[in-house]
Amino acid sequence: MPNQPKPADAPHFVYLASQSPRRRELLDQLGVAHRLLLPDDAQAAEALEDVAPDDTPASYVIRVTLAKGFAARARRQASGLPVAPILAADTTVTLDDAILGKPADAAQATQMLTSLSGRTHRVLTGVAVFDGKSAIGPLTGSFTGRATGAVTGVVTRVATGTVSERGTHAADGTAASDPLALARAAQHAFDEGLGRAASGAAALQPPGIGWQGPALRLALSVSTVRVRVLTAEDIARYVASGEPFGKAGAYGIQGRGAEFIAELHGSYSGVMGLPLFETAAALRQSGLSF
């Protein structure tokens, strides 16, 4: 069947709201043209990744992913850049429901790797694609979650969640424009849908969940990873290489850390930082051709 001509206003590229070279490489692998849309202040970007006391791994990844996307959308609007879809993502490693972020120093990297040694952990990567229009408006959509049942095997449950950007207000009654405020409002709706889509830890097994609305596509990729038993020498040598820094959980599966991975269930690209199956689907649903 011949290729259909693209509409004149169809997007030709996507903005990537990430400094990760791995995410750029993965988009290149898909053949997706992209431009970086980065924060002006590195500290402001790090503030979006702060963990709240009541965060679960899933809610944390969802909120940070959305906050990055809302912040990038505001930067695009303020700078007058051309309209195009915006892609944001965030990855975290979780062990026993504890969130393992990026190690601050060698001691923290050593501690994280020691805790992962000989155990199975989960890697959660959120990916959000905003359609790039000037106003998102009410966000409504369906959650689809997969859970493994002891008897019935794989089951799918669907629930809906709604959030209106116009309904989010600051303390003084004005419309909120802070990316974190917008992300938290969306997170609450997603959390409600998550609770109905699948219950308990079983909901966070591969492949994860998805949420789709008219102006925003969100996916949460979940993978389980088993690390072989690491010796103190293994850990010291790896930390000295510098690779653990800037990576959630203090390892990179695409680098030297690959030798530590005994088993993986889920998405290899998701563990790297951008699940390509979910990302490609969301970008195409946003009108991007590649």
Q: What domains can be seen in the chain, in order of their start residue?
A: 14-160+179-286 (3.90.950.10)
| pLDDT the model gives residue 50 | 76
Write down the pTM of the prediction. 0.80
* Strand, coil or helix: 148: strand
Least confident of 93-97, 151-155, 181-185: 151-155
Give the pLDDT band of residue 224 (cuts 50, 70, 90).
very high
Residue in 9, 50, 55, 90 annotated catalytic: 90
Query: How does pLDDT run across 70-128, given as a tens digit for each residue?
Result: 889 888 988 889 999 999 999 999 999 899 999 999 999 999 999 999 999 999 999 99
Q: What is the model's pLDDT at position 238?
A: 98
- 233-280 pLDDT tens trace: 999 999 999 999 999 999 999 999 999 999 999 999 999 999 999 999
Task: Find the mean pLDDT for residues 146-169.
Answer: 38
Q: CA nearest 222: which of 277, 266, 258? A: 266
Query: Cβ atoms within 10 A of the Cβ of 207, count?
Result: 20
Which has the minimum average pLDDT: 27-41, 101-115, 196-210?
Answer: 196-210
Please give the Cα distance from 23 to 26 (Å, whole number).
5
Cα separations in angstroms, 101 against 122, 244, 245: 13, 11, 10
Question: Residue ranges of the alpha helices (H) in the chain?
Answer: 21-30, 42-47, 57-79, 106-116, 179-197, 232-241, 268-272, 276-285
Per the annotation, the verdict on 90 as an active-site residue is: yes
Question: What is the band of 47 on the pLDDT scale with cuts at 50, 70, 90?
Answer: low
- The answer to whether the beta carbons of residues 270 and 20 sit under 8 Å apart is no
Mean pLDDT of 171-199: 54
